[in-house]
Structure formats: structure tokens, C-alpha cells
Amino acid sequence: MIVTNHGQQQSVKFTVDTDRCCGCKRCIRRCMENVWQWDEEHGHAYPKYPDECVLCLQCEMDCLNNVIDITPVEFLQVDPLEYSAGLISVEEMGGGK
Amino acid sequence: MGSVKDYGELYTSDILVIGGGMAGLVTAIRAKENDPDLDILVVDKGIIGWNGQATKAGNGIRATSKHPDGVMNALKYLVHAHTPYMNNQEFLKRYLEVHRDNIDYMRHCGVITSCDDEGNAKPLPFIPDALDMGGVSIHVAKQLRSFALKLGIRLLSRVNLFELLTNGQGKVIGAIGFDMDHGECKIFHAKATALATQGCHFKKIGLEFMGYGTGVGAAYRVGAVMSNVEFSTQVDVVFKKTNTPIYGGFNMIQNKNGRNLTDHYIGHKEWEVTPALVEAMVKEVKDGNGPLWVNLEEPDEVRAMIGGHDMDETTQRMFRDKLAWEEHVFMKTARTSGEVGSKPETTIKTVIQVEPIKVDTDIKTNVEGLWAPGKISTQGNAYFGWTRGDGLGNASTTGMMAGDSIYRYAREAEFDEINVDQVAALKEKIYAPLHRNTAHKPKEIFDMIERYIFDVNKCVTKSAEEIQKVYADIDKMKKILPELTAEDPHTLSKCLEAADTVLCLEMIFRSAETRTESRGIMYPHYRTDYPKTDDKNWLKWINIRQGADGEMELFTEDIPLWRYPVRPEGYEIPEGHAEEYYV
Amino acid sequence: MGNVTFKINKYEYTMKKGITILDASFETMKFAKEYLQQPIPTLYYLKGVTDIDESGVCVVEVEGKVVNASTTRVKEGMEILTNTPAVMAARKEALARILANHNKSCLYCLRSGSCELQELLHEYGFTDEPELPKTDLQQLDLSSKVLARDNNKCIKCKRCINVCAKMQAVSAITAWGEGLDILVTPASPKGLAASSCVNCGQCVAVCPVGALTEIDNTDAVKKALDDPDQYVVAQVAPAVRAALGEAFEFPIGVDVEGRIAEALHRAGFDKVFDTKFGADLTIMEEAQELIHRIQREGVLPMITSCCPGWVKYAEHFYPDMLDHISTCKSPHQMQGAIVKSYIAANEGVKKENIVMVSVMPCTAKKFEITRDDECGAGVPDVDIVITTNELAKLLKEKEIQLEAMNPKAKFDDPLGQGSGAGVIFGAAGGVMEAALRTVVEKLSGKTLEKLDFTEVRGMNGIKEAAVEVDGTVIKVAAASGLANANALLTRVKAGEADYQFIEIMACPGGCVNGGGQPHQPAAVRALNNVPALRAQALYQNDVCSQVRKSHENPAIKEIYAKFLGEAGGERAHQLLHTSYVVR
């Protein structure tokens, strides 16, 4: 399962091999931002709310079967200095698209 | 009219602790140790033991030196350190006295701290004879959880609380919220309540953790006073590629022509990222002199002091868990973005925090039956020192102080009856977004708020004109808030959090507008239209509370320096007051 | 014996001569230098069960060579490195070899989450997934109603063989072949049920993976709970309260008595009783029987019958000594019989509609309920037995958080009341101690001053004591672990010992170390005496009990007065006593 988010500050790609999820729910336990949820039907965890991810990567570290791979696609999409200097407009910031 | 149980599952306990991070657990543990007969329930929206900032943020913990003059030395140091003379020195003195046993108490609670060969805690002198520093396991919350369970404290995970319940006299007697998995309503009834949720952080990027200010909002609505919200912004200089801090690199910034910004605009070495430097950086970029970069090959004394060198063996040993985690994150970052190189481009990263609940020396708020230990009150207690670098020490120390005070209250207090009408009204308010059907999602609000983090003119160098622009935005957001729609417990909590985040945002700019001066080094308040520090008129705290009409009400309070040991040079006791402090 | 000084990962230690590298690495953990290192990983090694770890993961580097840490002894000046690239590669290779033959159906495996192999794979970063071996049904042994063996998951560590032969003197499991090619099988080709297996479950407790598990009965419990016509009654054995917490991340040895009571109420049981009451009843009957045998010169020594593992063992291996075993049923059977007679009449429920669920630390209890002559009230005394592990699973499925339950909650009256004597049944020597408190008082007619018979406490395999009552000396012994029982009985048969009363528990350390208790991995067992910690919680519970003698339990007095008549009487005999068969 591949899930991506597009925040205005960072974009993150979640690659989750759900077939190998062992069901320990450590990712759910670890996540402070409630990204992970349990899929009752298929019996595995998955990132239901990827937008909330703060890239602490602790779910990835804790995963028993190394099923989770979180890759930041881009760290900083808007340079605060350029934005404050008026070189980027609000429209160019995107976010949520 | 039915009974409370018709509205949701009811939990009753002598003490209710909201928030199961380090501060909440220490409060509960300390209270339980003081009186083992008390029934204490800790509630958290995540899973207690794996949640809270302590499991991720720094892993050093400080304590006041055991030197006989340790407390006074630390106090003098802290008063001068960051926002001179704004501290509540009464609070600070009591805090530092408790802070002395900080590391020892953590060890007592089963927390693994750095130790010598015999296994005794042996903190390193951080500021000699004033503050010590030790390492603490990154699994501190889990270790505290174990200890709490051993004592017989009850822990309830995955319940998010949004509103406090009060009796007719305004005393807090419980809370209401819902279960994060199924959205079932949960009602809590207690004799005393400790609010140990964190504050509100308008930041959500690489390892910065976002609190949403729900605790602040709930306390505000029951009449708690907030304080010092204008001192809320901190700036880091970071690698543009990875957005990770260049520790101590702020004197090394050059524009594309190789001109050093510190030399050119400031003229002396800085020890913090000052608003003047940020202003200069924006100006350079605006003038087309970007990109800015730092030369890591060139030695710099400030960088060498703050973070340029490798850690020695003892320190590494201390930070093992943290290092393992950081290495994982670093490897991942390096794999994605490549090396930063020796002449990396640089930019800034701002952190805005609102942690404003005003508390007394017992961590008690002005509302009866409500305590506020931990991060939620670090601005409100007017500590103004190294708290923001000692989050763990602050959590444990304020937890200890709150625990020592709350148990006496809970032991004497009676259960006041819950007002069923109030429960019904609050439940309806909490669940309202579920019954709407509009296109407005909470992300809309958070995206608008996140923009302030990029906008130096609004978050660092404020002015009357920019503040007015923010007010216009806040009005816009306030129109959207009652329209937000939720479909499950997660988005429902996001809708409610959005409202409280907007409230916190308004608090910042209301106080910033009122304070017509500039002040402070770390977490500064800076007004371009009032760039000077004005000790004559502004040795005051700005407080906020909800007025009788429901609108925000601001009032100032003179800092009672006549009662304090450390005063500015040439300070004169104002009329109507007498010298009250004798050493 | 002299000392040797050596280095592990560059840190110097001094320990006694002859210690293995593995034991030395465990010793270092006791220095509270947790930040220094982690212990060397093991898969086959288990303290007291398997000394040599041939799995290939238990390796370190010494002088450039990779050596087995469990067989190499430390020499003077040795420099040991535990995490060099060569060591890591060797461990990874060993894990890959084991993994190739392991059925990785983790998602459905009962052991998932507490599996030692899974933990190691996690630590050594296995990301590539070879093809999953299909489950070979030929390799699945479901013949026993109690224990399931799945050779598809077996990693050939031989811990089960060792524990069964060495600690239990049963040898129901054997092995053919060598190295990773060996096949672990039951001693009987027809499967475990046909062998001399006594169902003690020690093999389940030591299995590092999910190759040996108890047969899961939680579905039957859930079905009964969902059926509105069934009156579902639970009873909880003493040892469960000392260990259930571990499945919910409590520290080892925390008493969760009250929390279990509330959790079971929330799970939907109509009545929740405490087997402490049954234990008190057992003491009343057993004490009466012992006094009877002493005074009327009956068969002595009398041996306890509380442990179904021991009873089956005696039926297999000591058929000539069945006269010595007390005819009393085990506590949970007695309690079941009372529920289906006395409680059924009191509550006005048909005994056929009662579903009696026993929560036990024991797998052998699952076998016990299928024995003949265990139907005191005309229907089976107990319908379903679930182990501590299964209860944890049930609570997790019902989303009941044990940590949020009130530690001071109570069991239902009247069978929820038990004495301190009843609770120590869970620890080895506890039945003996509880019986002595009653027997000595009954024989002498005086009140006992010192209630603690510390001679029969502790984790030693065989414990002896002599108690003087009015000039006559009662000699008693307590054995735990069937190998110890075997040794003791050999002496008794040879006439070398003249005890009047013997307690035998099949599991080493008693019920607290039962086969159905939560799994603790080898590293935890090497550092902590897990059964001793759990037993400590029970002794603490005893000290805090208001009533510490079975015959003073008001509920016991009441039931004898109102229903049973006198101890050892006709009605008591019909309900509470049983008979044995030669197997």
C-alpha cells in the first residue's frame, strides 16, 4: 500500500507492505498524531491520516516486521525568507491539493 | 431530564489528570505517593507510555545544583538569561527548590538516567553551582507508566477531552470528551482536576510536534487567566535542504557575495537568533542577494561552543536511545536529500508556542479545583528561563509541585453534583461538526495558520499594521469554524482543535498589540514600530481571560519587583508599595 | 575461586572465574549501566532450562574470531566485542537459516508480539521476504484437548524437550536427528494426547515462538457471553492476579486483583467470583481430612490434590500412591460445584443454564474439567477454562483497558470473599502454609501468633518444615517442579522420610509460573526471577488481607452453617471430593 500526503510544508510517501503486517499494532501505539488506524476487515494497520505525520519515524523504528517505509519526498516546499520577502504568493504555496 | 449516564460512560475518581505525558504521570505519581488512598485516573488521547513529548523531544534533564547557594545562583542566572526581569521570581524560587531533587526523584520513579559506575545519578555541571544536567532514557514515559501502575494509578488511553465541567460556583468538577476509536462520549467526574495537556504549537514539520491548545481552550472557557502569550516565537537557523538546525550557526550566514550578515548588520557576535538578524536575512533575500549560505569549513567560536563538536563518551552513553533514534532519522534524511555539503544554503525555521495558563507556586490556576502542570503553563508561570531547553525537567518539577498540592485539596474536597444540562449542552457542542454537511474541512484552517510560520513579518517582527492583517484573517477563520464538518472521531477532534488553535493565535496577537515595546532574547517579543525596551512602562505582565460578554479581555499586572531579590539597575519601588524582600 | 578482569565493548569488568561470556553480559546489566550495551541475543538459551545456545545468534567476537557466547568462558584480559560487522553478519545468517524453515503466519499466531524470534528479526532488520512456506497439516498436532503443537513454526531450540525431561521428569516430547534438521515430536507417535503428557504447559511457557500454544477457548466464552439465556459466571485463580498485568505492559509482580474484577464485570459476566474462596474451602476440607488421617492413623503422608498436573503425573508414574493423595477436588472445581448448587438455588437460576468459566494460570485445568467424577452437582463443575493469556486476549478484543480499571474494585459476594491463606495458593508452598494455619489452630485449639511459615516459602524445589503442636511434631514438605516431586517421593517410598503432609505443585515455583501465564523472553528471565516476583505480589496481598486464615473467612463460616453442614460431612463429600484412576 502506498499513501502520499501533500502538506504545504512537507510531502511524505508511506510505503506499507500490509501483507506482512504482523498485527502487533505498535505503530498505532507509537503515533502521537493518530496517523495509523487498524483495518478490521483486512487485518492490518494502515496510515489513514497521513497528513498529520510529523516525520518522527518512530512507527518505522518500532515495526516488528519492518513493514513500514516513510520517505520524505520534499522537506521544505516554501522558504520562509522568500515568502516573507514577498517573492512567493499565497497561491503558489499550495497545500491540501 | 435524564441522568448523566444517559449522555455517555461515566468515570469517577478523586483526582482526574488530563494528559498522560511526563507531567501528567509525575503529578499522578506524586499525589498517589502522598496519599495512597486517593483514586487517581489519568486520561490521554494517545496510549499512555508511548505518548507525550518526552518520548520524542530532548533527552537531557536539568536539576538545580546541590551547592548550598544553588537555588539563588540559578535564580540570578535565569533572571538575566533570556527575558530579563520579567520572571515571577517567587515562583522561580519555589520551582528551583523542588527542581533540586528532580533527577533523584526520576530515579526513584524507575526512570533510567545517566549514572556513574555504581549506578548513582551523577549529573554534569551545566552552569557550575547553579544548574546540573543529566541524561534520561527516551523511554521515560514508559518507565513512569510502569511505576504508576505499580502504585495502583488508573490509566485510560485513547480518550480525547475537550471541555471541563463546572459546578454552579465555577469550580472544575470533571471533563467531557470522546473515545478516539469509536467516538463514544465519556464523562469524567472528579474532586480535583490537573490539566497536563501540552500547549499549542503552530508548527508541523520534521520533528516539531504540534499541540493544538485544546487544554488552553478548555481552561479559558472555565475562566482561567492566561499570561505572557506575546513571548511565543523562537527562530532557528537551518539547512535549507533538510530543514534541520545548524546549531550555533547564526553568526556564519553570508549572502551570495560572501558578506557576513552578523558583521554587517549587528556588529558583534550573537548568542541567539535575534529578530534583528532575521530582519536582515529577509532584507538580503528581498534585495536579490540570496541564496544565503554558511561556510562550515571556517571555524566559528559560537558554533564550537554550542554544537559544533562531537560529544564525549560519557555524554554519548547518556543519550544512547536518543542517538539511535536520531541516527535513524538522519540516515533516512540523508538517503532522501543527499549530503548538505560544506557550504550549504540556509534559511530559518520558526517555532511558535502558546503555553499560557497562569499558575501560582502550587501550579494551581485561579479556577478552583484546577491545576495546570507541565508545558501548558510555562508562559503562564512566568519562568522565562531555560525552561525551553528543559522541557523534561519542567514537566517533572511542575508535576511534583502540582502533586504535592492537589492531593491535599482532593483529600478534603467533596464530590459536587454534575449539572446534567451543562453535560447535555457541552456534548451537543462537541458533537456538532458530525451533524453538519458543508465542504469546509479543518485542514483549511490549519493551512491558513501554518502560513504565519513562514511569515516573518507576522511571527517575528510584528507591527500594528501586520497585526491588523492577522485580525482580518482571524475574522475570516472564525466564520469558517462553525461550518467545519467531521465524519469520524479523528476529524471531529481536528475540528475542535482548529477552534482552540485559532483562539491561541488570537491570544498571541492581542497581547502583542498591547505590549508597545520590544523585549527578550530567546522567545522575543519584537515590534518594528516600538523597537526599544521600555522598562519604565512595561515591567508588567499581560493577562488574558474570557470576559463576561464572552469576548477576550486583556489586563496588565505590575511585576511585584519590590518583593523579588533580583531587580534591574536603578529600579525604584513604585508608589504605594514598600520593600518586601530581605535576603 | 579467583576473579578475572576483561572488557566487553571496551568497558572493563571483574567477575568470578569460569563465567561464560553470555552470563557475563547478563551480569553487566545489573551494574545499572543500561546505557552501555544490550545483552547478547539468544534464541535457544533459557536460564535453568537450556544452557547452550546453538542457534547461531548468540555469538560475539573475541580476538578477531566469532565465537559462541554461551559456551566460551571468560579469560583474563579477554576483549569481547558484541556488535562488530562480522558478528552482525553471523547473526543475520543464522536468523535467515532459521527463518527459511519457519512458517511466518504472524498475523494469526497467538505468540505474535511476545515472540522472541520476531523481536530478533526486527532488531536485525529483515526486510526481504522469502516465499512463505505453506502450513503442512501433517506437522500440526491437535490431538490434545489442551496443547497444540505446530512443527511448521518450530525453530528446534529444544527448550520444550529440556523442560519436560529435566524439570518435569515427564519426557513427553523428544527429538530425532541433529542440528536444524531435527524433528521435535511427542514421545507417542499417535500425538501428544497419547503420551504421558501431564498438560502442565511448561513447554508453552518456554517456547520462544508459537510452535507450542494452549488450545484457545476464548471463542466459547464469547459465545456464552453473547447468549442471553446463559448465566455466565467467572472465577479467577490467585496466581492470575500476579501475572495478568504483564500482558498489558505492567511491570512483573504487580497485583491486579481489583482491576480484574472490574474488567470481567465490564466484559459482561453475570457474576465474578474469586477462586480464593474455593481455596479456603479446599483448606477446610483438606485440613479436616489431614486431622482425620493423623488421629485415626490413616494413610500418611497425605499429599495435596490441588494441582491437576501433579494428579495426572501420579496416575501415570505413582499409581501405587494414589491413596496418599487427598480426595479433595481442586479449588476451582469445588467453587464450580458450589456455584452450581448453592448459588444456583440462591439466585434462582437453573444449574443447566450456568456457564462456569475458570480463569487459570494453568493449562492442565483444561484437562481437569474433562475428568470423570468432577460433576458434584450432577452437571460438570466447570464448563470452560481459559488461561491468563487467553483472558488477556479476550479483554483486548473487547477493548477493555486493564490499566484503566479501579485497583480497589471488588469481586461479587459471597464467593468473592477469600482469606489471605487462599491467595497464597498461587505460590509454591502456599497450600502448605495455608493448611498449617488452619490445622495447627484446629489441633491445638489456640490462636496462632505467627502466621508466616517462611520455611515453606521461596523458590527452592523442595522445602521442609516441622511444626510442633501440643508436643507432637507434624513434619511437612513442599515440592514444586515434577522432577523435584519425583525425588521427594522416591525418598518417601524408600522409607527415608516420614512426613505427614506433602504439597506438590507441577510447575517450578508453583501456579505463578504456570503454563498459561504471560510469556517472558529469555533476556528477562535471565535477569529476573519471574516466579519469585509474582509470588511476592501474592504474599503482599496476603499481608494486606483482613482475614488471613481460611476458617475465619466469614463467607466460609456462612456456607458451612447454611448449606454444607460440617467439613468432611456427607454433603461436602458429595460436592467437594473426587477419585483417581490408574493410567
Sequence ranges of the domains in chain A: 2-93
DSSP, residue by residue, C463-529: EEEEEEETTEEEEEEEEESHHHHHHHHHHHHTT----SEEEEESSTTSGGG-TTSPP--HHHHHHS-
Domain(s) labelled CATH 3.40.50.1780 in chain C stretch across 219-576
Distance from CA of C255 to the nearest CA of A (A): 24
Asked if C406's CB is within 8 angstroms of B154's CB, the reply is yes
What residues in B contact C406, CB-CB < 8 Å?
39, 154
- Is the pLDDT score of A95 beyond 50? no
At position B314, the amino acid (one-letter code) is T
User: Across the interface, which of A34, A51, A61 has its CB nearest the CB of B325?
Assistant: A61
Of B135, B137, B149, the CB nearest to C403: B149
For B209, name the nearest residue in chain A, comparing CA atoms only. Answer: A54
The per-type count for chain A, helices as H runs and strands as E runs, is: 4, 5
Same domain, B282 and B326: yes
Same domain, B323 and B363: no
Beta-carbon separation of C112 and A43 below 8 A: no
Cell of B18: 488530563
Cβ neighbours of C372 (radius 10 Å): 9
**Residue A97 pLDDT > 50:** no
Residue where a domain terminates, one of B350, B379, B412: B350
Say yes or no for a CB contact (<8 Å) between C245 and B117.
no
Asked if C34 is an interface residue toward chain B (Cβ–Cβ < 8 A), one would say yes
Average pLDDT of every residue of chain B: 87
Pairwise CA distance, residues C539 & C552, whole Å: 18
Inter-chain contact A64–C119, Cβ cutoff 8 Å? yes
Contact C404 B157 (CB under 8 A): yes
CATH class of C130-214: alpha beta
B506 in the same domain as B409: no
Q: Which residues of B517-545 are buried (b: 16+ CB within 10 A; e: fewer)?
A: bbbbebbbbbbbebeeeeeeebbebbbbb
- Smallest CA–CA distance, residue B119 to chain A, in Å, is 28
Q: Are residues B246 and B308 in the same domain?
A: yes
Instruction: Enter the ipTM.
Output: 0.89
Residue B172 lies in domain = 7-60+81-96+135-231+352-421
Say which of B149, B154, B155 has its CB closest to residue C254: B149
Cβ–Cβ pairs < 8 A, chains B and C = 55
Determine the residue of chain A that is closest to B21 in CA distance.
A32
B161 and B38 in a common domain: yes
Task: Give the residue from chain C lying closest to B322, CA to CA.
Answer: C35
Distance from CA of A76 to the nearest CA of B (A): 7
Window 385-404 of C, Cβ < 8 Å to B:
399, 401, 403-404
Q: Which chains touch B (3 or more CB pairs under 8 A)?
A: A, C
B292 & B435 share domain:
no
Enter the DSSP assignment of C134.
P
Give the pLDDT band of residue B122 (cuts 50, 70, 90).
Answer: confident
Say whether pLDDT at B119 is over 70: no
Average pLDDT over residues B218-247: 88
The domain tally of chain B equals 3
Q: How does pLDDT run across B315-371, given as a tens digit for each residue? A: 555 566 677 777 777 777 777 777 777 888 898 888 888 999 999 999 999 999 999
Distance CA C400, CA C31 (A): 38
Nearest chain A CA: its distance from C87 CA (Å): 21
pLDDT at A19 over 70: yes
By CB atoms closer than 10 A (0-12, 13-18, 19+), residue B74 is buried
CB contact under 8 A, B317 and C401: no
Q: Do A51 and B443 touch (CB under 8 A)?
A: yes
**Residue B572: inside a domain:** no
**Is B152 a member of any domain?**
yes
Q: Does B489 touch chain C (CB under 8 A)?
A: no
Residue C496: count of CB within 10 angstroms of its CB: 8
Give the whole-angstrom CA distance, residue C152 versus residue B491.
Answer: 44
Supply B464's cell numbers: 500594528
Q: Considering only CB atoms, which chain A residues are within 8 Å of C122?
A: 63-66
Least confident of B114-123, B393-402, C88-97, C161-170: B114-123
pTM: 0.90
Query: Any bridge partners for residue C17, and if so which?
Result: none
Residue B179, strand partner residues: B159
Same domain? For B464 and B369 the reply is: no
Chains contacting chain C through 3 or more C-beta pairs under 8 A: A, B
Is there a contact between C31 and B156 if contact means CB atoms under 8 Å apart? no
Domain end residue (candidates: B421, B445, B479): B421
Residue A65 touches chain C, beta carbons under 8 Å: yes
The residues that bridge with B174 in the sheet, in sequence order, are B165, B189
Is C88 exposed, middle or buried (CB count within 10 Å of its CB: 0-12, 13-18, 19+)? middle
Residue of chain C minimizing CA distance to B319: C35
Q: Are B523 and B438 found together in one domain?
A: yes
**CATH number of B252's domain:** 3.90.700
Average pLDDT for consecutive 10-residue bins of chain C (583 residues)?
84 86 83 60 89 90 91 91 88 87 79 85 68 72 88 90 92 84 85 89 92 92 94 96 94 94 95 95 93 88 94 94 93 94 91 94 94 88 95 92 93 90 93 92 86 86 88 90 94 90 94 94 88 94 92 93 88 91 88
CB atoms within 10 A of CB C461: 18
Q: In chain B, positions 46-65, which contact chain C (CB-CB < 8 Å)?
A: 48-49
Is the domain spanning C3-96 CATH 2.40.30.10? The answer is: no
Task: Kindly state the cell numbers that stand for A44.
Answer: 492490518
Q: Which CATH number fits domain C219-576: 3.20.20.70, 3.40.50.1780, 3.30.300.130, 2.60.40.10?
A: 3.40.50.1780
B32 plus B169 within the same structural domain: yes
Determine the distance in angstroms separating the CA of B14 from the nearest CA of chain A, rounded to an integer.
27
- CB count in 10 Å sphere of residue C400: 18
CB contact under 8 A, A54 and B209: yes
Which of B160-164, B542-546, C32-36, C411-415 bottoms out in mean pLDDT, i.e. has the lowest?
Answer: C32-36
CATH 3.10.20.740 domain position(s) in chain C? 3-96
Of C106, C112, C126, the CB nearest to A66: C126
Q: Does the pLDDT value for residue A9 go beyond 70?
A: no
Q: Is residue B335 part of a domain?
A: yes
| B456 at interface of A, judged by CB pairs closer than 8 A | yes
User: Is B273 contained in some domain?
Assistant: yes
Residue B545 covered by a domain: no
Q: Could you tell me the CA-to-CA distances from C135 to B229, C149, C151, C285 in Å, in that order?
A: 63, 13, 9, 49
Last-in-domain residue among B288, B320, B350: B350
Q: Does residue B373 have a pLDDT over 90?
A: yes
For A2-93, the fitting CATH number among 3.10.129.10, 3.30.70.20, 3.40.50.300, 3.40.50.1820 is 3.30.70.20
C467 vs C104: CA distance, rounded Å: 55
Interface test with A, best of B454, B469, B528 (most A CBs within 10 A): B454
**Residue contact C107–A23, C-beta within 8 A:** yes
pLDDT attached to residue A5: 75
